């Protein structure tokens, strides 16, 4: 059989993959059976098998709300912005750091940029509050001092929040995400650059004609993976930073915050599972679609 | 692509079928255990280890005190005990532990953690009434507990967890910082409603503009002073209340009642006058305000001795009740102990609970530790730390008596008035009993609507409650949104269950 | 006459260099400033926080927050040791497993690599959820109260596998491996002696992610660790913070024991102090891995 022939031919390669596959089986695939909880009225006494099947009932609360459109719109739009601007900024920052003259300075900057990753959203929420608080916040104090403006209740003003949130997300993730691109850049063969220099290319031309194309595999993969999370959101960012201010809901409420708020009082395992499944299946279909498109363009760059 | 799909589906099928096999075996296993009835006579009890999940944080002296408790229990019911103090992890961990069917005997539960109603309805907690456990092994327990507490914690007439014996009634009140009352010679004896306090607020805000006149934050819920019983539980803000005076049996949406509208309007006025912090709607309770002692008025759900003496920060407050004391339908569900359906010896667990409510030695062992090491007696019922030990250095000072068993039997620490319990008993007796006492709502049929409405309430209520927004526009908006998200379904369901309960009670 | 010397060194013009350095520096500053603010707040007297707000230089210096956290010092030291153990063991184990899974997936001669990619990626999208994982980890694998409950579930993360696979396919040319095989090398030997050494940046990236991930891990510890001796650092800090909050909220419950020492508990300052306890050591990890992000690591390989 061709299957076993292939196995024998590359026997050591297949053997190498065994530990990884085993871990995936034990800790990812076996628990995956629990997805059925999303379709059942689960009680621990009856377990997966005998709990009552309820079809799509656990999914209703995701759609039967007057806010269903808003939470979906917010989640998707923010994600699209995060993904595109995020990639541009991360790649840009990686290039800058790898190209500026002061190498030691660049290393210091890199370490500094990593710091936001370590601050939890809880702490960031406090820091943002120190900045935006109506009575004692830094922003209001500055506005009063330099512009003579009255104190603004930022947690009740909707307009600036999309910017606040996008900026917060960028601030927290660019440093960390640029590491992957940095590593990719260091892997580029310097001979390409030497050859380009001999041909009279400027630095900028080198960046756009060599660097960026050479790290394209990483960019594509990270883009595809990010698409998979299109219906998910960073709970800490959307719940803790705006301090769950009700007035801001139209621009800060996402599927995840909706699920959290809706279910904390009820603690329904089935509904929580349904929400997760809903987010997963949409993301999955999106990735399948995007992957197909990427395959058509360049088969090697695709995820699978 | 087809080849990949085939291979993948084969792979996933294998994995899934393996799991179903395993899961099937496991559930059958636990099924067997719970069907055993374990008839043990009180004479020849086999040794058994109880597993108890508690909300207290762990302390250095835990192992020592637990050993002493085990010794004591061995003598009484031939059982030893393992106490798992989950501390702040409790709220996250206990739902997972329960949902996974893990074996344990007793756990702390309430309306606000390890959701009592949900777990009872799902069958995770043992029905103490139907299984006869309460009557057979809980005789002493039943004698001790205030009947109103037992009634309020029953679901369809059955008890699924034993409520801690403590205050049953309470009354919402304004509390005022005595220091400022004295400074400006203010009299609070005439304050009977929310708005009566306004003249005082005006004076304080004028004379002391830098301190918060009214301390308000996300949790500000003074609207609870209105004479209605929310039948969804004390912490619930879901629509559905019934008047305490029992004059009507119709469950209504509180947010459309004129009294509530008046409340929101009054609070809005207070907010505009500057009595309330501008960010109140999004702030969580700030301990620094309490610590500084620089504030004037706060809310409280008052019980005897709640205020009147200096608190930990040295601040004394005086209360002005604006509500007639009442026992709400959620009274008993503030703190309870339940027996898990995964327990291997439910009788023993019940015997343990019986002791926890009736045996003075056991109660104080659990609450305060070993006499001599952890505490010394000052007089018959009062205790204090042994010399040289303070609350900070004590090896066992973490158990809150209000979480465990029978508070009437536990000693009181120095500083609490000696007649405290008589006051509480009288208070309970005089209080109005809600007509809904003993009713509990099963939300199975309206979960979708509740999830949606919870979001609406989260969006509008905090701002309305502290008066941060204009209720003439916002309140109708909220009500409309609630209606759009299934409020009428919820009210209909509540009314149907309530009527059924009422007629069955007779 | 304009000085074009920088061109021969293949660098930016001084103007461009200055602008880019400024951009990177500004962003790095914005990333570091909140951390400095945390430090400042952690050394402040709690009472003056309410009056003066968050300030970089404390109005009233105080080390009470640190004293409070050190009060749990015997546990703190223990938790540091546990976390270091978990991080080191976990990272080493995970790198081996991830690399052994990712490498074959990057080889063109590996027939089922798209199948593998799909299987790996699928675990990123779908998950059974919290309860099924908990059931399987406690009742079947018996991982309760062991550090393996923290290490194993994370040691083959799909994200790491896919990223490393992309690095391998970009940096390790098939021709190189082919020539090695012609010389008689086996696949595993080629992997170990040829592919790995030139994949420095990729491996370093994954190792850094793993180190940071294991260091920050607290949720699995919360679920599976009851034994106080095995509590890792982040969980300990989360517990200290939650206990602090709980203590302060219940301080004035009627009937609660009124302890005078509660009046002096730090709150926000302790929160900031704990940030430093947790971030301090790990921030050294990045400089450690930085030396692998050096250009030209792959020179020697291609010239062969």
**Cα torsion C296, C297, C301, C304: sign:** positive
Q: Please check whether residue B487 lies inside any domain of the structure.
A: no
Question: What proportion of chain A, given as a percentage, has pLDDT over 70?
Answer: 100
Are A123 and C38 in contact (CB < 8 Å)? yes
Identify the pLDDT of residue B23. Answer: 40
Range A263-292 average pLDDT: 91
Give which of A140, A127, A155 is closest to A244, Cα–Cα.
A155
| Residue B477 to chain A, least CA–CA distance (Å) | 12
Residues of chain B contacting residue C255, judged by C-beta atoms under 8 Å apart? 166, 303, 305, 401-402, 407, 416, 420
Identify the pLDDT of residue C248. Answer: 73
Residues of chain A contacting residue B19, judged by C-beta atoms under 8 Å apart? 30-33
Partner-chain residue, chosen from B18, B101, B469, that has the shortest CB–CB distance to A45: B101
SS (H, E, C) B82-131: EEEECHHHHHHHHHHHHHCCCCCCEEEECCCCCCHHHHHHHCCECCCCCC
Report which of residues B437 and B107 the model is more confident about.
Answer: B107
Q: Which residues contact B383 (CB under 8 A, 6 or more apart)?
A: B368, B375, B376, B377, B411, B412, B413, B414
Are A246 and B23 in contact (CB < 8 Å)? no
CA distances, B428 to each of B328, B420, C82 (Å)? 11, 12, 51
User: Distance (Å, rounded) from C-alpha C299 to C-alpha C297?
Assistant: 6
Are A136 and C53 in contact (CB < 8 Å)? yes
C98 to chain A, any CB pair closer than 8 A? The answer is yes
C263 to chain B, any CB pair closer than 8 A? The answer is yes
**pTM, entire model:** 0.88
Above 50 in pLDDT, residue B2?
A: no
Strands B326-327, A52-53: parallel, antiparallel or unpaired by DSSP?
Answer: unpaired
Question: What proportion of chain B, given as a percentage, has pLDDT over 70?
Answer: 90
Q: How many CB atoms lie within 10 A of CB C23?
A: 14
Find the DSSP H helices in chain A.
2-9, 11-24, 30-32, 47-50, 60-63, 68-99, 103-118, 121-132, 138-147, 161-186, 190-198, 203-206, 212-214, 216-228, 235, 249-252, 255-264, 269-297
User: Distance (Å, rounded) from C-alpha B413 to C-alpha C229?
Assistant: 32
Q: What is the pLDDT of residues B344-372, one digit of tens each?
A: 999 999 999 999 999 989 988 898 888 88
Mean residue pLDDT across chain A? 91
User: Distance (Å, rounded) from C-alpha A168 to C-alpha A174?
Assistant: 10
State the pLDDT confidence band at B304, using cuts at 50, 70 and 90: confident
Please report the ipTM that was assigned to this predicted complex: 0.91
**Closest-CA residue of chain A to B116:** A266
Q: Which residues contact C177 (CB under 8 A, 6 or more apart)?
A: C107, C190, C194, C195
Above 80 in pLDDT, residue B428?
A: yes
Among C115, C117, C252, C253, pick the best mutation site for testing chain B contact (most B Cβ within 10 A). Answer: C252
Are C295 and A98 in contact (CB < 8 Å)? yes
Regarding whether B321 and B261 lie in a shared domain, the answer is: yes
User: Distance (Å, rounded) from C-alpha A90 to C-alpha A113?
Assistant: 11
Q: Please check whether residue B403 lies inside any domain of the structure.
A: yes
Regarding whether B216 and B150 lie in a shared domain, the answer is: no
Q: What is the pLDDT of residues B255-290, one digit of tens each?
A: 999 999 999 999 999 999 999 998 899 888 887 788
Partner-chain residue, chosen from A47, A134, A265, that has the shortest CB–CB distance to B279: A134
**CATH code, domain with B254:** 3.40.190.10
Range A154-181 average pLDDT: 94
Q: Please check whether residue B251 lies inside any domain of the structure.
A: yes
Q: How many CB atoms lie within 10 A of CB C295?
A: 15
Residues of chain B contacting residue A262, judged by C-beta atoms under 8 Å apart? 450-452, 454-455
Q: Please check whether residue B9 lies inside any domain of the structure.
A: no
Identify the pLDDT of residue B483. Answer: 95
State the pLDDT confidence band at C259, using cuts at 50, 70 and 90: low
| Start-to-end CA span in chain C (Å) | 43
A304 to chain C, any CB pair closer than 8 A? The answer is yes
User: Distance (Å, rounded) from C-alpha C252 to C-alpha C232?
Assistant: 32
Q: Which residues contact B153 (CB under 8 A, 6 or more apart)?
A: B116, B159, B160, B161, B162, B163, B331, B332, B333, B336
Q: Which two tokens stand for residue A3?
A: 């299957």
| Residue B410 to chain A, least CA–CA distance (Å) | 32
Report which of residues C46 and B2 the model is more confident about.
Answer: C46
Q: Please check whether residue B497 lies inside any domain of the structure.
A: no
Question: Taking a C-beta distance cutoff of 8 angstroms, is the pair B105, B343 a contact?
Answer: yes
Of B3-17, B248-262, B375-389, C31-45, where does mean pLDDT reach its minimum? B3-17
B28 to chain C, any CB pair closer than 8 A? The answer is no
What residues form DSSP beta bridges with B176?
B297, B318
Count of B-C CB contacts under 8 Å = 116
Above 60 in pLDDT, residue C126?
A: yes
Question: Looking at beta carbons, which pairs linking A128-134 to residues 24 or more positions away fall under 8 Å?
Answer: A128/A164, A128/A168, A128/A241, A129/A243, A130/C37, A130/C53, A130/C54, A132/A164, A133/B279, A133/C53, A134/B277, A134/B278, A134/B279
Regarding whether B369 and B324 lie in a shared domain, the answer is: no
* A 246-285 residues with CB < 8 A to C: 269, 272-273, 276-277, 280, 283-284
Largest CA distance in chain C: 86
**Cα torsion C123, C124, C128, C130: sign:** positive
Q: What is the pLDDT of residues C213-250, one digit of tens each?
A: 999 999 999 999 988 889 999 999 988 888 888 777 76
Identify the pLDDT of residue C103. Answer: 95
Largest CA distance in chain B: 87
Are C101 and A138 in contact (CB < 8 Å)? no
Regarding whether B99 and B35 lie in a shared domain, the answer is: yes
Range B3-29 average pLDDT: 43
Q: Please check whether residue B294 lies inside any domain of the structure.
A: yes
Among A8, A58, A151, A187, pick the best mutation site for testing chain C contact (most C Cβ within 10 A). Answer: A187
Regarding whether B345 and B243 lie in a shared domain, the answer is: no
Q: Please check whether residue B133 lies inside any domain of the structure.
A: yes
Q: What is the pLDDT of residues B436-463, one digit of tens each?
A: 888 888 888 999 999 999 999 999 999 9
Regarding whether B207 and B117 lie in a shared domain, the answer is: no
Question: Taking a C-beta distance cutoff of 8 angstroms, is the pair B87, C243 a contact?
Answer: yes
Regarding whether B339 and B313 lie in a shared domain, the answer is: no
Identify the pLDDT of residue C101. Answer: 96
State the pLDDT confidence band at B7, using cuts at 50, 70 and 90: very low
Identify the pLDDT of residue C111. Answer: 86
Q: Does the structural domain C64-303 have CATH classification 3.40.50.970?
A: no
User: DSSP assignment of B286-316, as one string?
Assistant: -HHHHHHT---EEEEEE-TTSSSS--TTS--
Question: Taking a C-beta distance cutoff of 8 angstroms, is the pair C71, C277 a contact?
Answer: no
Highest mean pLDDT among A219-223, B44-48, C198-202: A219-223
Give which of B279, B275, B264, B289 is closest to B198, Cα–Cα.
B275
User: DSSP assignment of B449-499, as one string?
Assistant: HHHHHHHHHHHHHHHHHTT-S-HHHHHHHHHHHHHHTTHHHHHHHHHHHHH
Domain coordinates in residue numbering, chain C? 64-303
Residue that the structure tokens 């990639």 belong to = A87
Range A290-304 average pLDDT: 88
User: Distance (Å, rounded) from C-alpha C226 to C-alpha C56?
Assistant: 38
Regarding whether B382 and B302 lie in a shared domain, the answer is: no
Q: What is the pLDDT of residues A94-108, one digit of tens each?
A: 999 998 888 889 989
Report which of residues C54 and A100 the model is more confident about.
Answer: A100
Regarding whether B242 and B141 lie in a shared domain, the answer is: no
Task: Provide the domain count of chain B.
Answer: 2
Interface chains of chain C (3 or more CB pairs under 8 Å): A, B
Are C251 and B290 in contact (CB < 8 Å)? yes
Partner-chain residue, chosen from A13, A111, A284, that has the shortest CB–CB distance to C287: A111
For residue C137, give the 3-state DSSP assignment.
helix
Last residue of one domain, picked from the residues B330, B364, B386: B330
Q: Which two tokens stand for residue B64?
A: 């020592």
Question: Domain containing B201: what range?
Answer: 171-330
Strands B317-321, B171-177: parallel, antiparallel or unpaired by DSSP?
Answer: antiparallel
Are A42 and B99 in contact (CB < 8 Å)? yes
Q: Which residues contact A65 (CB under 8 A, 6 or more apart)?
A: A71, A258, B451, B452, B455, B485
Q: Which two tokens stand for residue C105?
A: 């997936």
**For residue B413, what is the enclosing H or E element?**
strand B412-413
For residue B171, give the 3-state DSSP assignment.
strand
Are A266 and B443 in contact (CB < 8 Å)? yes
* Complete domains list, chain A, with CATH: 56-301 (1.10.3720.10)
Q: What is the pLDDT of residues B385-413, one digit of tens each?
A: 888 777 667 788 767 777 787 877 888 77
Identify the pLDDT of residue B25. Answer: 36
Residues of chain A contacting residue C115, judged by C-beta atoms under 8 Å apart? 304
Residues of chain B contacting residue C122, judged by C-beta atoms under 8 Å apart? 8
Burial C276-294 (b: 16+ CB within 10 A, else e): bbbbeebbebbeebbebbe
Are C302 and A189 in contact (CB < 8 Å)? yes
User: Distance (Å, rounded) from C-alpha B321 to C-alpha B189?
Assistant: 9
Above 70 in pLDDT, residue C117?
A: yes
Are C118 and B8 in contact (CB < 8 Å)? yes
B365 alpha-carbon distance from chain centroid: 23
Regarding whether B417 and B312 lie in a shared domain, the answer is: no
Are B4 and C118 in contact (CB < 8 Å)? yes
C104 to chain A, any CB pair closer than 8 A? The answer is yes
Strands B171-177, B297-302: parallel, antiparallel or unpaired by DSSP?
Answer: antiparallel
Above 70 in pLDDT, residue B27?
A: no
User: Distance (Å, rounded) from C-alpha A188 to C-alpha B27?
Assistant: 56
Q: Please check whether residue B69 lies inside any domain of the structure.
A: yes
Regarding whether B342 and B321 lie in a shared domain, the answer is: no
Are C25 and A109 in contact (CB < 8 Å)? yes
Among C44, C51, C53, C203, pick the best mutation site for testing chain A contact (most A Cβ within 10 A). Answer: C53
Last residue of one domain, picked from the residues B308, B330, B352: B330
Identify the pLDDT of residue C255. Answer: 44
C105 to chain B, any CB pair closer than 8 A? The answer is no
């Amino acid at each position: 059989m061709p299957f076993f022939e292939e196995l024998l031919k590359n026997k050591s390669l297949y053997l190498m993959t065994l530990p990884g596959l085993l871990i995936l089986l034990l800790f990812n695939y076996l628990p995956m059976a629990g997805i059925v909880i999303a379709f059942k009225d689960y009680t621990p006494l009856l377990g997966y098998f005998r709990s009552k099947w309820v079809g799509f009932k656990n999914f209703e609360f995701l759609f039967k709300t007057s806010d269903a459109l808003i939470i979906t719109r917010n989640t998707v739009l923010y994600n699209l912005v995060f993904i595109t601007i995020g990639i541009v900024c991360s790649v840009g920052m990686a290039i800058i750091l790898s190209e500026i003259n002061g190498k030691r300075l660049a290393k210091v900057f890199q370490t500094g940029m990593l710091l936001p990753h370590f601050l939890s959203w809880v702490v960031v929420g406090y820091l943002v509050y120190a900045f935006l608080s109506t009575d004692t916040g830094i922003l209001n104090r500055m506005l009063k001092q330099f512009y003579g403006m009255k104190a603004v209740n930022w947690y009740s003003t909707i307009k600036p929040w999309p910017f606040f949130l996008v900026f917060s997300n960028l601030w927290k993730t660019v440093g960390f995400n640029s590491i992957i691109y940095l590593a990719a850049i260091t892997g580029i063969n310097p001979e390409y650059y030497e050859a380009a220099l001999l041909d009279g290319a400027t630095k900028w031309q080198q960046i756009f004609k060599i660097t960026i194309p050479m790290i394209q595999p990483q960019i594509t993969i990270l883009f595809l993976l990010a698409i998979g999370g299109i219906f998910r959101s960073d709970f800490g960012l959307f719940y803790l930073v705006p301090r769950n201010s009700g007035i801001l809901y139209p621009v800060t409420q996402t599927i995840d915050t909706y699920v959290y708020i809706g279910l904390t009082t009820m603690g329904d395992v089935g509904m929580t599972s349904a929400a997760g499944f809903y987010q997963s299946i949409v993301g999955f279909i999106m990735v399948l679609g995007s992957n197909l498109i990427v395959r058509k363009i360049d088969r090697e760059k695709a995820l699978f | 692509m087809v080849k990949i799909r085939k291979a993948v589906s084969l792979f996933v099928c294998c994995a899934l079928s393996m799991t179903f096999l395993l899961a099937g075996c496991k559930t059958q296993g636990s099924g067997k255990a719970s069907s055993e009835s374990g008839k043990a006579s009180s004479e020849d009890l086999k040794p058994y280890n109880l597993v108890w999940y508690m909300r207290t944080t762990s302390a250095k002296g835990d192992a020592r005190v637990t050993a002493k408790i085990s010794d004591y229990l061995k003598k009484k019911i031939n059982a030893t005990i393992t106490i798992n103090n989950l501390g702040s992890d409790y709220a996250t961990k206990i739902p997972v532990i329960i949902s996974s069917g893990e074996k344990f005997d007793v756990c702390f539960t309430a309306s606000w953690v390890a959701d009592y109603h949900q777990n009872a309805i799902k069958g995770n907690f043992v029905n103490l009434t139907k299984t006869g456990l309460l009557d057979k092994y809980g005789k002493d327990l039943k004698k001790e507990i205030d009947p109103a507490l037992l009634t309020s914690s029953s679901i369809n007439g059955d008890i699924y967890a034993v409520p801690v014996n403590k205050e049953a009634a309470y009354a919402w009140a304004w509390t005022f910082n005595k220091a400022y009352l004295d400074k400006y010679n203010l009299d609070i004896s005439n304050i009977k409603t929310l708005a009566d306090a306004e003249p005082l607020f005006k004076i304080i805000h004028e004379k002391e503009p830098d301190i918060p006149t009214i301390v308000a934050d996300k949790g500000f819920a003074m609207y609870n002073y209105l004479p209605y019983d929310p039948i969804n539980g004390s912490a619930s803000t879901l629509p559905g209340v019934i008047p305490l005076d029992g004059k009507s049996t119709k469950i209504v949406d509180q947010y459309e009642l004129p009294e509530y509208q008046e409340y929101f309007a009054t609070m809005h006025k207070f907010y505009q006058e500057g009595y309330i912090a501008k960010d109140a709607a999004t702030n969580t309770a700030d301990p620094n305000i309490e610590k500084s002692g620089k504030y004037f008025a706060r809310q409280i759900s008052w019980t005897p001795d709640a205020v009147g003496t200096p608190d930990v920060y040295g601040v004394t407050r005086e209360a002005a009740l604006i509500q007639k004391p009442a026992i709400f339908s959620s009274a008993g569900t503030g703190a309870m102990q339940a027996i898990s359906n995964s327990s291997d010896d439910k009788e023993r667990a019940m015997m343990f609970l019986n002791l926890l409510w009736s045996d003075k030695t056991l109660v104080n062992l659990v609450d305060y530790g070993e006499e001599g090491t952890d505490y010394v007696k000052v007089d018959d019922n009062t205790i204090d730390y042994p010399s040289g030990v303070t609350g900070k250095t004590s090896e066992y000072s973490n158990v809150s008596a209000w979480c465990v068993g029978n508070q009437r039997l536990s000693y009181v620490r120095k500083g609490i008035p000696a007649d405290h319990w008589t006051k509480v008993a009288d208070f309970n007796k005089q209080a109005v009993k809600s007509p809904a006492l003993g009713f509990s709502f099963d939300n199975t049929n309206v979960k979708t609507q509740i999830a949606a409405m919870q979001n609406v309430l989260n969006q509008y209520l905090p701002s309305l409650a502290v008066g941060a927004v204009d209720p003439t526009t916002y309140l109708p908006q909220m009500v409309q949104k609630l209606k759009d998200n299934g409020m009428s379904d919820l009210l209909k369901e509540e009314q149907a269950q309530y009527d059924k309960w009422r007629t069955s009670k007779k | 006459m304009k000085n074009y010397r920088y061109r021969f060194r293949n660098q930016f013009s001084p103007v461009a260099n200055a602008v880019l350095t400024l951009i990177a520096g500004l962003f790095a500053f914005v990333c570091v400033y909140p951390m400095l603010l945390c430090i400042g707040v952690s050394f402040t007297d709690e009472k003056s926080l309410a009056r003066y707000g968050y300030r970089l230089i404390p109005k009233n210096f105080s080390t009470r927050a640190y004293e409070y956290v050190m009060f749990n010092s015997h546990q703190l030291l223990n938790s540091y040791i546990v976390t270091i153990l978990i991080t080191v063991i976990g990272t080493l184990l995970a790198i081996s497993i991830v690399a052994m899974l990712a490498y074959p997936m990057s080889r063109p001669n590996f027939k089922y690599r798209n199948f593998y990619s799909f299987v790996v990626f699928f675990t990123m999208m779908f998950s059974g959820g919290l309860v099924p994982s908990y059931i399987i980890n406690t009742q079947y694998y018996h991982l309760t109260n062991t550090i393996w409950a923290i290490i194993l579930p994370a040691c083959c993360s799909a994200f790491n596998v896919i990223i490393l696979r992309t690095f391998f396919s970009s940096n390790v040319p098939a021709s190189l491996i082919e020539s090695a095989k012609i010389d008689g090398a086996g696949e595993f030997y080629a992997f170990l002696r040829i592919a790995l050494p030139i994949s420095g940046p990729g491996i370093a990236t994954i190792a850094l992610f793993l180190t940071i991930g294991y260091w920050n891990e607290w949720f699995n510890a919360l679920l599976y660790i009851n034994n106080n001796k095995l509590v890792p650092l982040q969980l300990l800090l989360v517990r200290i913070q939650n206990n602090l909050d709980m203590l302060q909220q219940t301080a004035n419950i009627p009937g609660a024991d009124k302890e005078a020492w509660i009046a002096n508990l730090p709150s926000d300052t302790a929160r900031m102090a704990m940030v430093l306890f947790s971030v301090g050591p790990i921030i050294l990890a990045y400089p450690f891995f930085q030396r692998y992000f050096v250009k030209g690591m792959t020179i020697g390989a291609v010239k062969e």
